[in-house]
Structure 1
Amino acid sequence: MDDRQSIDLAAMLCSRLCHDMLSPVGALSNGLELLAMETDPEMRANVVELLEQSATISTNKLKFFRLAFGAAGGFGERVEVAEPKALIEALVSDKPKVTINWALADATLAKPAVKVLLNFAQIAIDALVRGGSLDIGAERRDGACEIVVRAAGPKIAFDEMIGHALDGSLARAELTSRTAAAHMIHLLASENGGGLQYHRTAETLVLGAVLPEGEGLIG
């Protein structure tokens, strides 16, 4: 990837982060304004509760983006699976119609695998517009980490441009804030000698990855 493409990808990822953070941060700002004007104790208590919810959502999203998009310098080459598991569970905490089933065979995952797992989960959660189930699995086999995320529900919403970004067929002009994360993990998988794939039906979306493990991985 040349410098221009690197700059474009970074810009699109920043746009995605800003878009996702705008709502909870805006709610914090609005809540503080209401708190400054409100004098009724009961109403103030309600506003404080909303502020706490918005602060929690903002914190969870920042933690997610740090590990899913960023260098995540606070972690080593391998990350305990409890970290991505907690982040994904936080993403669906306000989605009562989405249930998660876990099948994580190992206690730790390489950082590139964690990035792929988190971004797969985000794509799958976004696809479950009417709720459903999310099956998330990962295991190390024959020197590689295999990851599968399956979303199943009454309606699957999936932008085919995201699919093109995952399989590497996305045209440069089609890189947007919506496709940037998928394009990023495609590049990450390719640079580590692996690959991504997906399959979609009316009621299911299956995302898969195989990532070789060993020294010299790019995370």
Structure 2
Amino acid sequence: MTETRFADMAPEQLAALLCARLCHDLVSPVAALGAALSVLDDEDAADMRDDALELVRESSRQAQAKLEFARLAFGAGGSAPGVIDSLELKRLASGLFATVKPELVWKVDAPALEKSVARLLLNLCILGIESAPRGGTVTVEATESAGGSRLRIIAEGPKAKIDPKHAAALEGIKPEDGFDGRSIQPYYAGLIAHGAGGRATATATEDRVEFVALAAPAAAAA
């Protein structure tokens, strides 16, 4: 791996890679919708109609949950400027976790988070989910004080781990073979932390990955 500063990536490259990531995440539920609709259009598949309708409902729920989550995690969702209520963050996270194997354990003490910190929290949730592909739990914590915000996400479960390249990308280190649609997301999370006057790190032990991010108070970060 080669060292690079967060500011070294061209904006158009970052945008293109994040778009690739978003499209990848939405392909599955959208494709499932198309398959279900094809069954409903087939008069010879009347016996599969109930299953197809259930697939439409489930795929629609998944697509909506992922889009709502991505709107804030990657975009400019919510009021700007301002803070995001923790109940709204929990709703978005719960919707996303309903589509994956690990269970969400929500332990956010802060009643609300500044928008960039909220975006960082959601991106760390994505990393927590990907670190526990066989299930388990992802515990989400967030506290605020006069010194700023502290986020901690702990992924625990069978074979929980993180790709070393993704852990490095979280700290702004470019992989030797360049970024792709998967490694760009931890890089983006680290970029948010960096822009908020802090940093994000990942530590892995057996069946456990812990993400910690610190952000300066909004006035100090600005």
TM-score by length of 1: 0.90
Identity %: 31
Matches within 5 A, 1:11-30: 11-30=16-35
Distance 1:33 1:12, change over 3 A: same
> How far did residue 173 of structure 1 move?
5.2
Task: Give the conservation status (yes or no) of the 8 Å contact 1:145–1:211.
Answer: yes
Deviations 1:48-84 (A, max 9, x none): 1110111110111111111000111545510011122
Q: Which residue of 1 aligns with 2:87?
A: 82
The RMSD of aligned alpha carbons is 2.0
- 4+ long deviations beyond 6 Å: none
Q: Which residue of 2 aligns with 1:63?
A: 68
Task: Give the conservation status (yes or no) of the 8 Å contact 1:38–1:44.
Answer: no
> How far did residue 90 of structure 1 move?
1.7
Q: Which residue of 1 aligns with 2:131?
A: 127
Deviations 1:102-144 (A, max 9, x none): 2211211111111111111111111112211211100102330
> 3-state SS of the aligned residue for 2:218?
coil
| Residue ranges of structure 1 left out of the alignment (5+ in a row) | none
Q: 1:118 aligns with which of 122, 125, 131?
A: 122
Pair 1:102-2:97 in alignment: no
Distance (Å, rounded) in 2 between the aligned partners of 1:40 and 1:167: 52
> How far did residue 46 of structure 1 move?
2.1
Distance (Å, rounded) in 2 between the aligned partners of 1:22 and 1:214: 36
Q: Single out whichever of 168-177 and 52-61 deviates more from structure 2.
A: 168-177
> How far did residue 42 of structure 1 move?
5.3
TM-score by length of 2: 0.89
Task: Give the conservation status (yes or no) of the 8 Å contact 1:69–1:181.
Answer: no
User: How many residue pairs end up in the alignment?
Assistant: 216
Q: Which amino acid aligns with 1:204?
A: R
Q: Which amino acid aligns with 1:70?
A: G
